[in-house]
Amino acid sequence: MAWLAREPEKRSDPELLMPGAKSVVVVLLNYFTDHGHSSDVGKVSRYAWGEDYHDVLSEKLIGLLNQIKAIEPSVKGKICIDTAPFMDKAWAARAGLGWIGKSSNLITRELGSWVFIGALVLDIELDYDLPNSEDHCGTCTACIDACPTQAIVEPYVVDARRCISYATIELRDETLPDEIASNLKGWIYGCDICQDVCPWNRFEQTTAESRFEPRHGETTLDIERLRTMDHDEYVERFRRSPIKRTKLTGLKRNAAALAAAEVS
């Protein structure tokens, strides 16, 4: 993920991201919906079942910023949702919303890890609390033990080159690496294994945001349909979906890898 290496100074200093920045307000949005996968092949990561979270969370943060401006019209703010050079997990932990677990996911005591992170960078001082971001992973290694590609190379460290989520979403190679393709475990877009096994996700609660319900009722994708899908069908099917991130070529590549695994 070479883009992570870009603008490191902005990632560590919000004032470079927005001149005059004085405060960071971090929010979480629960996206858990109470559904399972309809098939063991073609599984989609839970975060991508519904509408694109960038759109949903951006809308909510715009509303929050407008409420702040209604109180103090001179306030300037910048919305950050994981497209800006902003260390969202680090700021969420610093704000006391949870801790970064051994899987490298942000984990909360109230909702587990099924949360999106958003932030407002503001040019005003606020009344700050004294958050507690204590690590509650303890001696648990469930996520490390369950990862089929051993991507969690040590507690709190994920090697993206071994990660199913990275490979099926971000990787632009024409074929998946052999060690990934042979261990997909049915995943075609993303992977939730480290979250599914996390004991803290026993506290999961169904979100009140209906836009995170599965689009078209689908939690898996038909790999044969994907392999024959043309661009127009792709555009229509995945409009406003996070799944468009991997592009049609990526979905076809992933489908081909799953089909080959099924044959073998």
Three-class SS of residue 44?
strand
| pLDDT digit string, tens, across residues 68-79 | 999 999 999 999
pLDDT value for 15: 87
- Above 80 in pLDDT, residue 5? no
**How is residue 19 written in tokens?**
């001149």
At 255, the pLDDT band (50, 70, 90 cuts) reads very high
Three-class SS of residue 103?
coil
The residue to which tokens 């792709």 are assigned: 234
| pLDDT digit string, tens, across residues 234-251 | 999 999 999 999 999 999
- Above 80 in pLDDT, residue 130? no
pLDDT value for 2: 65
The helix (H) or strand (E) run that includes residue 181 is: helix 178-181
- Above 80 in pLDDT, residue 116? yes
At 84, the pLDDT band (50, 70, 90 cuts) reads confident
pLDDT value for 235: 96
The CB-side HSE value for 71 (13 A sphere, CA atoms) comes to 6
- Above 90 in pLDDT, residue 170? yes
pLDDT value for 181: 97
| pLDDT digit string, tens, across residues 27-73 | 999 999 999 999 999 999 999 999 999 999 999 999 999 999 999 99
Q: Select from 44, 51, 35, 54 the least CA-distant residue to 226.
A: 44
- Above 80 in pLDDT, residue 3? no
Of 4-13, 100-109, 199-208, minimum mean pLDDT range: 4-13
Mean pLDDT of the chain: 94
Q: What gap in Å lies between CA 114 and CA 206, rounded to an integer? A: 10
Active site residues: 82
- Above 80 in pLDDT, residue 6? no
Give how far Cα 138 sits from Cα of 62, 99, 102, 105, 252, Å: 37, 12, 10, 15, 40
First to last CA, the chain: 31
pLDDT value for 45: 98
Residues 171/253, Cβ–Cβ less than 8 Å: no
Mean pLDDT, to the nearest integer, of 75-90? 89
Q: What is the pTM of this model?
A: 0.93
pLDDT value for 85: 75
pLDDT value for 4: 63
At 119, the pLDDT band (50, 70, 90 cuts) reads very high
